[in-house]
Amino acid sequence: MNACVIPLNGAELTALPSGAAHWQAERVLIVSDLHFGKSERIARRGGALLPPYDTEETLARLAADVQATQPAQVICLGDSFDDLNAARGLDQAARDRITALQAGRRWVWIEGNHDPGPVEFGGDHLGELRLGPLTFRHIAEPGSEPGEISGHYHPKARLKGARRPCFLADATRLILPAYGAYTGGLDWQAPVLQSLFDGPALAYLTGTRVLPVPLPRAA
């Protein structure tokens, strides 16, 4: 099996190799940090001229996950757009594809630090969402109630010389990896991530298959 089940506060979520999480019992697909339009934003601000295919690639993977899981609801955990101008600057093909993915299901855009205001796309735009035993927000809050699911940090594991995006989880919270094609990442031993997990925690490495390993503690 390429995916891996993560128990959290009475719910069971499946970590998918793509970096999405699937809550099958409630037919919910969860993704974080799509960062649509990142290559355009970097170029606009005088940075490197990256091939402008990141939004297309991210949407293709998202479409594949939607097709595979057939969710009734999709929750995007913030930083879905690299900034508000990037949202406004998406071409018509990308806009049409997002609209097609939204058709027939609830779509929730959680506000992130890159996209703090409403954007010109359908769906619900929320600061956070409580759904059953789970709370969805962009940035993890220390001391939050059990069942928190967030993104923001783009965690990456370093294992045998390779770096792979990963989920981080314990009995209290789950942090998703970045889903966007051009996103960097924060090392899994970074102090801010280590501080969010007091006891034993697992990292679920993405790739061809999801690999669970103990979260190592920084020296």
Q: In this predicted model, what pLDDT tens digit does every residue of 14-47 receive, in sequence order? A: 999 999 999 999 999 999 999 886 545 444 455 4
CATH of 4-214, one of 3.60.21, 2.40.30, 2.60.40, 3.30.70: 3.60.21
45 Cβ partners below 8 Å, 6+ apart? none
CB-CB contact of 44 with 59 (8 Å): no
Q: What is the DSSP letter of 26?
A: G
Compare 204 and 54 and report the one with higher pLDDT: 204
In this prediction, residue 42 carries a pLDDT of 46
Where in the chain are the domains? 4-214
In this prediction, residue 53 carries a pLDDT of 60
**What pLDDT band is residue 86 in, cutting at 50, 70 and 90?**
low
Task: Using alpha carbons, list the distances in angstroms from residue 27 to 50, 99, 102, 105.
Answer: 36, 19, 14, 10
**Mean pLDDT of the 39-56 span:** 54
32 Cβ partners below 8 Å, 6+ apart? 19, 76, 77, 78, 79, 138, 150, 151, 152, 176, 177, 178, 179
Report the alpha-carbon distance of residue 51 to residue 101 in Å, rounded.
Answer: 24
CB-CB contact of 110 with 149 (8 Å): no
